[in-house]
Amino acid sequence: MTAVALTGLGLVTALGSGPDAFWRGLLDGRRALGRLTRLAGAYRSDVVAEVTFAACPVPAGARKARLASDAARQALADAGLNRLPAGSLVVVVSQAPYDTDPYETDQHEADRTGTDFTGPSPTALLDAIGTPHTAVTVTHLSHACASAAFGAAFARDWLLAGLGPCALVVGASALNRFEYASMDVVRALSPTGARPLDGARNGVTVGEGGGAFVLESAGHAAARGRAPKALLSGAACLVDGQGAAASEVRAIRTCMRTALREAGEPPVDHVQAHATGTPQGDGAEVAALGDVARELGWNGVPVGSHKGSVGHLLHASAFAGVAAAVGFLRERTAPGTPGLRTPLELPDRLLVPVGPIAVPRARHVLVNSFGFSGNNASLVLSAPRP
């Protein structure tokens, strides 16, 4: 048995609070993009996907912690848990785990500029979800834009090794001047809004959001009578030091093939791609997918990306990818890619639908998450067994 049960899911994006708000917005083709207002500075692009806290605004500097804790509470409630069982694992994915920003000495300046780079604090997260600090093991992972997928793979290995009954993977990304400037300086930002998998794509739109999911050993979920939303049946992580960009065809292909082998090489019915909207990155991922499709005999597999809807959540991006995969398995519908106008030319055996399409056989989905410095991860999610 190599699969673990995904029993709870939490998500906050620019489409709203909750996985359902995200999924419905994705099906409707909504693009929750707007103008950058929170950060001072001259950037090549001012198009972002920002979360709106309409009912309960939070002070500047606290957004990242709020996004993560909200998502964690959602995931636990969705899993039917009041708090994490003793002996569980908490994986916090982020850029840095500090409670406060070590580069800021003036809090007023931090609030004014919208600094939200570090955190979320594991201590604050455990307090927010009502779990005693001594009852769980906490680890922190940072693998660029593949961090959340690395966290899922780590938690899966932990559970399969019998080290605990349950794991919570949680993280958030909030707009801040450090990360936004870094994307700007490498000229990755789209001036018009990201259009992943489009022939005229011209860059990334940075989004913000928080995500979490609860993973359990199959035995633990069954013992408490909890049916999984999906099975995490395969996972692979590859740190490829030969290149700085997330666009090495060989490394991407190897990562996907390894995840699929771990899952038993099932026939894939949908690919929730990493596709951020950059010419080089999307092109490399599609080329690698074409190689895998030919090797494994795929036929007409739909490929899509959510990043034209809620932007690129950076190290938290895989949470939205997993939420889209769960929606696909539940409703047997590939959601398409919001913002897509002219699909780029794909290799044989793959297709890029502009909008939602029905997929009668929706049993297995591949979720990709790639990052700078050769951080690559692929996950295989499968429909629960009847």
Please write the tens of the pLDDT for every residue from 121-144.
Answer: 888 889 888 898 888 999 888 998
Closest CA to 383 of 185, 164, 232: 232
Closest CA to 19 of 211, 239, 259, 272: 211
Question: What is the overall mean pLDDT for the chain?
Answer: 90
CA distance 167 to 89: 4
pLDDT of res. 200 = 95
Percent of the chain with pLDDT over 90: 74
User: What's the mean pLDDT in 253-279?
Assistant: 96
Residue 220, both tokens: 């633990």
| Location of each CATH 3.40.47.10 domain in the chain | 4-223, 230-382
CA distance 2 to 361: 22
74 Rama sector, left if φ>0, alpha if ψ -120 to 50, beta otherwise = alpha
Topology classification of domain 230-382: Peroxisomal Thiolase; Chain A, domain 1 (3.40.47)
pLDDT of res. 114 = 46
Q: Which residues pair with 48 in a beta bridge?
A: 34, 206
Instruction: Give φ, ψ of 140 to 5 degrees.
Output: -120, 135
Q: pLDDT by residue (tens digit) across 6-65? A: 999 999 999 999 999 999 999 999 999 999 988 877 898 999 999 987 644 555 557 888
Q: For residue 59, how many other CB atoms are within 10 A of its CB? A: 8
Q: What is the pTM of this model?
A: 0.93
Q: How far apart are the first and last CA of the chain?
A: 16
Coarse DSSP helix, strand, coil percentages of the chain, rounded to the nearest 5 percent: 35, 25, 40
CA distance 285 to 283: 6
The full DSSP string for 67-117 is: HHHHHHHHHHHHTT-SSPPTTEEEEEESSB--SS-TT---HHHHHHHT---
pLDDT of res. 63 = 84
Closest CA to 335 of 344, 326, 346: 326
Closest CA to 340 of 357, 328, 326: 357
User: What's the mean pLDDT in 97-124?
Assistant: 57
CATH class of 4-223: alpha beta
How big is the chain, counted in residues?
386
